[in-house]
Amino acid sequence: MPELPDILSYLTALRSRIVGQPLEKIAVKSPFLVRTVEPDLLSLAGQTVHDVSRIGKRIVWNFADDLFVVIHLMIAGRFHWKKAGVRPTGKNDLAAFAFPTGTLMLTEASQKKRASLHVVHGIANLQAFDRGGIEPLDCSADEFRAALTRENHTLKRALADPRLFSGIGNAYSDEILHAARLSPVTLTSRLSAEQIDQLFAAVRSVLGDWTARLSTEAAGKFPEKVTAFRPEMAVHGRFRQPCPVCGTAVQRIVYAENETNYCPRCQTGGKLLADRSLSRLLKDDWPRTIDEWEET
């Protein structure tokens, strides 16, 4: 799922291509995409996009008279910039938005149609999409501490909770926790003041660095390959590959559709975190430390 740095890179690319431009034509291929009936999406044809913004992981197009298009890409939704006149005919195409500058194609590479588009009228209806999380790049250290400790959760869950923090998801929470040298399963109630400061610094550093990198790239070229798995990442998506800090093999916990990656030497004191399904299978053979893992 595109997270804060990816969403901001999309906004950088979209501002130079569609802001101030009339939305000439809308072609919707998937009936699952549009989740609202009134206002009518097709009624926006011919109207000018005045601005683009974000609410959490949602991208918002602002039109006149307080009309807004709210797009949530979910896990597999992506934008692609095409030449003018291209229609949504591909297998993964959901909709095409024609502008004088080109065509913005919305795709979803999944059989589960989760991406959504809402058309809403009025600021109050737009704010209904706000889950309440603070902006991690704009908040103060005190605001961060208050949000983090408001409920008692594991660090992984807390960082990815949109009610606490806006725009952080599975990928960047892994990277943040690795940078902070903290275990993903540590409970927020057990953190020391120093550890919270470490985490706050890591949030600002990781998200800031990735935002700067991706937005710079998007300023010159449309981000066609937005992915949660980037080779420059430290641990996310790098199961069994060496940690860039200590060289230890990166480990993972898989639960449902989520995967948590971590370095056992940098983050958990050398201990392996038991995967629910594998630990049931291996029982007493499941290694408890990274040293035991390497010996096997």
Taking the CA atoms of the chain, what radius of gyration do you get in angstroms?
21
CATH code: domain of residue 13:
3.20.190.10
The answer to whether the CB of 133 falls within 8 A of the CB of 124 is no
> Same structural domain for residues 123 and 145?
no
Domain range holding 267?
A: 141-295
Beta bridge partners of 52: 61
Question: What is the number of domains present in the chain?
Answer: 2
pLDDT tens digits for range 177-219: 999 999 999 999 999 999 999 999 999 999 999 999 999 999 9
What is residue 278's predicted lDDT score, i.e. its pLDDT? 55
Alpha helices, DSSP H only, in 26-169?
123-127, 141-148, 155-160
pLDDT tens digits for range 42-94: 999 999 999 999 999 999 999 999 999 999 999 999 999 999 999 999 999 99
pTM of this prediction exceeds 0.75: yes
3-state SS assignment for residue 92: coil
Last residue of a domain, one of 127, 158, 178: 127
Query: What is the average per-residue pLDDT within 15-40?
Result: 96
Q: How many CA atoms lie within 13 A of 193 on its CB side?
A: 1
> Same structural domain for residues 15 and 103?
yes
Residues 6+ apart with CB under 8 A from 110: 75, 76
pLDDT tens digits for range 228-285: 999 999 999 999 999 999 999 999 988 766 789 999 999 999 998 876 655 555 555 5
What is residue 92's predicted lDDT score, i.e. its pLDDT? 96
> Same structural domain for residues 156 and 195?
yes
Give the chain's length: 296
